[in-house]
Chain A
Amino acid sequence: MPVPFLAKAVDSTRWSKLDSRAGRTALLIVAAGSVVLGFVYHVMAMRAGAPPSAFLSVLYNLMVMAGYGAIGLLLAFRFQRRNSSPARVFWTILFFGLIFIAIASYITSVGREVDEALLDLYEAEGEFDYYTGVPRVFVTVIKINVLSLLGAVFAFYVLIRIGSLVLFKRTKLSQRNWQLMLALFGLTAVTAFMKSPQSDPDIYQLVALIPAIGFMVVNSFRASWIVYMTFQEKLISIGLSMLLLLCLMIGLGITSIANPLPFLSDLRVYMLYYNYVLYLFVMLVLGFGVMYTTASLLLLLFHLPTTGDFQRRTHERVVMQSLTNLVSQAFDPEKLYTTVASSPVEAGTADTGWLAIADPKTGSLQPDIVASANITPNRVTRLMDIAALYGELSASRSSLYLEQASTDHRLNVRPGDGFSSLLAVPLVAREEMLGALFVTKEVAHGFEKDDIESIHMFAAQAALALDNARLFKEQIEKERLARELDIAREVQRKLLPQSAPRFRGLSVSASNVSAEQVGGDYYDFLQLDEHRLCLVMGDVSGKGASAAFYMAVMQGIFQSVGRLAPRPIDFLRHANAALAHSLDKNVFISLIYGILDIQREEFVFARAGHNPLATINLHGEAKYIRPDGIGLGLDRSGLFERSLQEVTLPLQPGDAFVLYTDGLVESRNLQGEEYGYDRMLEAMRRHRDEEASGLHDALIADLRQFVGPKPYDDDMTLMVLKWHGIDVPTAGHATSHHRTTTPQASLLDTKP
């Protein structure tokens, strides 16, 4: 992984006003003016041989502070947007440090005898007046100006570059610490304002120094960049930081009194006599540079051995984070299984992994290994009793960790088999175990606490994904079934009569409601000739698809046998025989079948186990007529035929016949009370003057009122026939139409 960006050294938002073209020009003028005027000041002092007046001295000090402040800001703007790796930061500081030391060393030696420079560090003071510190020769004036500028620029550079490291991945606190340190540097430096370079440090200086050093230490341990480095980058940085440490120590040495190398002349006095405040600031910065480099070096050394672990952890995290993508794989269960089984292996947490899923349909606990990584399913089953392990997980719903797999009786693992520790985690979603994830390691005690935690986290995610996949599949299946049922419903609707028969003097109305998409109720008409109408109503036992299937069979029988053997008993006998081959043992059909003959003015019917026929005449005499007869499909011997009874009813104008299925009379209200036969007969009496559709609607309305707002729980069919008499003037103007009272209901009627 490449080392990412480094943060900006300076808070650019706050200083953005200065960081404009005009602002920079102004800073440049201040900086250049201060450098030039500083030079003039020292030349004047040299010429006079004595320090200028106190007033000029104060002005000079203020000017130097402003000027170098401007230089610092200019440098900060110059480098603030430079993002580079820690190794590069170390390298550039080292590079400029060496240049600084070389130039400084050369300049200090100018105008001095070589052997003189080697004597001792106080020798240089020969260039200054012992009491006033005023430079004696022109070359010294140049030296103090150039060396101070050089030292200050280098110090600023060090500060800015290290600042970028300190503020890497900054927090509010770390940024505040950094700004406080800079402020304390400034404060400590200002304690030297107007102080003689020769005087001893006073108590204020020491007091100001303590917090500054404290914050130097705090900031030195800001090294967040370390964790993002690779092993190699760390090695390079260690080498560079060692060299840099050496370089900065020399730099600090030659600017302070502790010059470490005798062949390098120190520039302390030059900077000190240029300006005490600036000198102190440079010292603090270089001191901080040494401290930070030392801390970095140590931290790098300490972090070196754990680099691999950190990288691994990062990788694991990346892999585990990719699990959020698991959810999107719900469309492809196979792919999902593979991802679940292989992710712990890819993350490096485990050596092998597999996913076992017990088929919920069979209900058995014999799991299938649906996906595996680094191991074949066959090998897994050979090496262990996967069903026993799965069973235990299923019972306990918690994970199972075998630290030494070879000691477990369920495993047939020998040391050479490639794994010695096994972790099994049940995948549980919505309190249901969907499968189990098994992971192994080659070594015994191979899973650490954090490994187990991350596998657990992964398992939870995986369980969710599996659950989603399952729900998705179920949803698809559901939608497919719904579509099929829609088709079935449409087919069934077409099996029912599309229009009511038209007979002079007769009105017919019928409707059908299914509790489910399809139902087992059946009614139909068959016009035999000008004056004879066959009609049928049946109810297949049971509900739903199987009932609907037999209802279709019944329709075929009615439409064919009805024509060939229209007499009720003949029809029922043939129908029973025809159904004997196709009906299941536990399925039967109740049927009522009749022929209405308007020429002979009679209605002949028979009943095979169906609800009795309800009739009412003009005078309100209502009754159920229930001839004997057992249901179709209940008996295949002669018993069926012997049981049948045919009833002939003469037709009188005003007679109404009501055929229905048990769903109607057995409809219950919220109190569990049945609508019942009596209520229906009562309703028929009340509405006996209506023609068929009016009576039909009145009966349905009466039923709805009784039942209340409750869905149908059974198929329900109602047919009303009303005989108005042959000489009704409106006869012959029969119309038929379809009405839909509920989505599943169909209704048709004719008016006389």
Chain B
Amino acid sequence: MSNFSVGFRSNTAIEVLDLNGELDAHTASELEAAIQKCKNEATYRIVVNGANLQYISSAGLGVFMAYIEELRAKGGDIKIAALQPKVYNVFDLLGFPMLFDIVDTEAEAIAKFNHT
């Protein structure tokens, strides 16, 4: 039923989450669990790769909001990379680019972490 999945890739101190499929009210909990897992493993630097993310709903965006404050307080961040234009538009409508680093490539996102 669920057509959403999260893949994990560890890149030194940075966890890369590969999002696949559609992130909506039903699948938001999976991303929540993934970020929670990173947090439990004390990995606060997260890159979300949205190259395979087909759709995101407001509930999906809410997941980022739920954790960002805490991760930033611990010196980490969520950086979002490689979003498809349609998905980016949803982020953009809500003004997420003002709140998050949303970049074109994963490498760019990782680089942003390494610069700070």
Chain A interface residues toward B at CB < 8 A: 539-544, 584-588, 590, 608-612, 626, 628-631, 634-635, 639, 643, 662, 674, 714
Query: Contact mask B76-116 → A, CB, 8 Å, 1/0?
Result: 00000000001000100111101100000000000000000
Known: A630-B94, A643-B95, A662-B58. 7 other contacts (CB 8 A): A541-B58, A544-B25, A585-B69, A588-B94, A630-B99, A639-B99, A714-B57
Which of A544, A609, A612 sits near B94, CB closer than 8 Å? A609
Whether, in the assembled complex, B34 has its beta carbon less than 8 Å from a beta carbon of chain A, the answer is no
Query: Contact mask B41-66 → A, CB, 8 Å, 1/0?
Result: 00000000000000001110111011
The 7 closest A-B pairs by CB, nearest first: A630-B95, A541-B58, A586-B66, A586-B62, A609-B94, A631-B94, A542-B59
B contacts with A: majority SS: helix
**Inter-chain contacts of B65 with A (CB < 8 A):** 585-588, 634
Whether the Cβ atoms of A541 and B95 lie closer than 8 Å is no
Chain B interface residues toward A at CB < 8 A: 25, 57-59, 61-63, 65-66, 69, 86, 90, 93-96, 98-99
A sample of 7 cross-chain residue pairs with beta-carbon separation below 8 angstroms, ordered by A number, consists of A587-B65, A590-B58, A609-B93, A609-B94, A634-B96, A662-B90, A714-B57
User: In the complex, what's the smallest C-beta–C-beta distance from B114 to chain A, in angstroms?
Assistant: 25
**Inter-chain contacts of B57 with A (CB < 8 A):** 541, 714
In the complex, what distance in Å separates the CA atom of A746 from the CA atom of B47? 42
In the complex, what distance in Å separates the CA atom of A541 from the CA atom of B57? 8
Whether the Cβ atoms of A543 and B99 lie closer than 8 Å is no
Which of A543, A643, A674 sits near B98, CB closer than 8 Å? A643
**Inter-chain contacts of B58 with A (CB < 8 A):** 539-542, 588, 590, 662
Task: For B32, give the chain A residue with the smallest CB separation.
Answer: A586
Whether the Cβ atoms of A635 and B93 lie closer than 8 Å is no
In the complex, what distance in Å separates the CA atom of A629 from the CA atom of B95? 6
User: In the complex, what's the smallest C-beta–C-beta distance from B95 to chain A, in angstroms?
Assistant: 3
**Inter-chain contacts of A540 with B (CB < 8 A):** 58
In the complex, what distance in Å separates the CA atom of A608 from the CA atom of B58? 14
**Inter-chain contacts of B61 with A (CB < 8 A):** 541, 588
**Inter-chain contacts of A643 with B (CB < 8 A):** 95, 98
User: In the complex, what's the smallest C-beta–C-beta distance from B3 to chain A, in angstroms?
Assistant: 11
Task: For A677, give the chain B residue with the smallest CB separation.
Answer: B89
In the complex, what distance in Å separates the CA atom of A311 from the CA atom of B25? 63
Task: For B70, give the chain A residue with the smallest CB separation.
Answer: A585
Whether the Cβ atoms of B95 and A543 lie closer than 8 Å is no
Which of A543, A585, A626, A630 sits near B59, CB closer than 8 Å? A543
In the complex, what distance in Å separates the CA atom of A598 from the CA atom of B22? 44
**Inter-chain contacts of B25 with A (CB < 8 A):** 542-544
In the complex, what distance in Å separates the CA atom of A543 from the CA atom of B59? 8
Whether the Cβ atoms of A628 and B95 lie closer than 8 Å is yes
In the complex, what distance in Å separates the CA atom of A662 from the CA atom of B61? 14
In the complex, what distance in Å separates the CA atom of A610 from the CA atom of B93? 6
Task: For A587, give the chain B residue with the smallest CB separation.
Answer: B62
**Inter-chain contacts of A590 with B (CB < 8 A):** 58, 93-94
Contact (A630, B66) CB under 8 Å given A541-B58, A543-B59, A588-B58? no
In the complex, what distance in Å separates the CA atom of A455 from the CA atom of B59? 51
**Inter-chain contacts of B99 with A (CB < 8 A):** 630, 634-635, 639
Whether the Cβ atoms of B98 and A639 lie closer than 8 Å is yes
**Inter-chain contacts of A539 with B (CB < 8 A):** 58
**Inter-chain contacts of A585 with B (CB < 8 A):** 65-66, 69
User: In the complex, what's the smallest C-beta–C-beta distance from A636 to chain B, in angstroms?
Assistant: 9
Whether the Cβ atoms of A586 and B63 lie closer than 8 Å is yes
User: In the complex, what's the smallest C-beta–C-beta distance from A669 to chain B, in angstroms?
Assistant: 14
Task: For A668, give the chain B residue with the smallest CB separation.
Answer: B55
**Inter-chain contacts of A662 with B (CB < 8 A):** 58, 90
Which of B66, B96, B98 lies at the interface centre, i.e. has the most chain A CB atoms within 10 A of its CB? B98
In the complex, what distance in Å separates the CA atom of A714 from the CA atom of B62? 16
Whether the Cβ atoms of A634 and B93 lie closer than 8 Å is no
In the complex, what distance in Å separates the CA atom of A543 from the CA atom of B65? 17
User: In the complex, what's the smallest C-beta–C-beta distance from B73 to chain A, in angstroms?
Assistant: 12
User: In the complex, what's the smallest C-beta–C-beta distance from A675 to chain B, in angstroms?
Assistant: 13
Whether the Cβ atoms of A611 and B66 lie closer than 8 Å is no
Task: For A585, give the chain B residue with the smallest CB separation.
Answer: B66
**Inter-chain contacts of B66 with A (CB < 8 A):** 584-586
Which of B61, B63, B65 lies at the interface centre, i.e. has the most chain A CB atoms within 10 A of its CB? B65
In the complex, what distance in Å separates the CA atom of A662 from the CA atom of B99? 21
Whether the Cβ atoms of B95 and A611 lie closer than 8 Å is no
Whether the Cβ atoms of B62 and A542 lie closer than 8 Å is yes
User: In the complex, what's the smallest C-beta–C-beta distance from A59 to chain B, in angstroms?
Assistant: 98
Task: For B97, give the chain A residue with the smallest CB separation.
Answer: A630
Task: For A676, give the chain B residue with the smallest CB separation.
Answer: B86
Task: For A540, give the chain B residue with the smallest CB separation.
Answer: B58
Contact (A631, B62) CB under 8 Å given A542-B25, A543-B25, A585-B69? no
User: In the complex, what's the smallest C-beta–C-beta distance from A591 to chain B, in angstroms?
Assistant: 11
**Inter-chain contacts of B94 with A (CB < 8 A):** 588, 590, 609, 630-631, 634
Task: For B59, give the chain A residue with the smallest CB separation.
Answer: A542
**Inter-chain contacts of A587 with B (CB < 8 A):** 62, 65
In the complex, what distance in Å separates the CA atom of A634 from the CA atom of B69? 11
In the complex, what distance in Å separates the CA atom of A541 from the CA atom of B69? 18
User: In the complex, what's the smallest C-beta–C-beta distance from B24 to chain A, in angstroms?
Assistant: 9
User: In the complex, what's the smallest C-beta–C-beta distance from B35 to chain A, in angstroms?
Assistant: 11
**Inter-chain contacts of B69 with A (CB < 8 A):** 585
Contact (A541, B62) CB under 8 Å given A590-B93, A609-B93, A611-B93? yes
In the complex, what distance in Å separates the CA atom of A626 from the CA atom of B25? 26
**Inter-chain contacts of A584 with B (CB < 8 A):** 66
Whether the Cβ atoms of A634 and B95 lie closer than 8 Å is yes
In the complex, what distance in Å separates the CA atom of A587 from the CA atom of B63? 9
Task: For B62, give the chain A residue with the smallest CB separation.
Answer: A586
Task: For A630, give the chain B residue with the smallest CB separation.
Answer: B95
**Inter-chain contacts of B63 with A (CB < 8 A):** 586
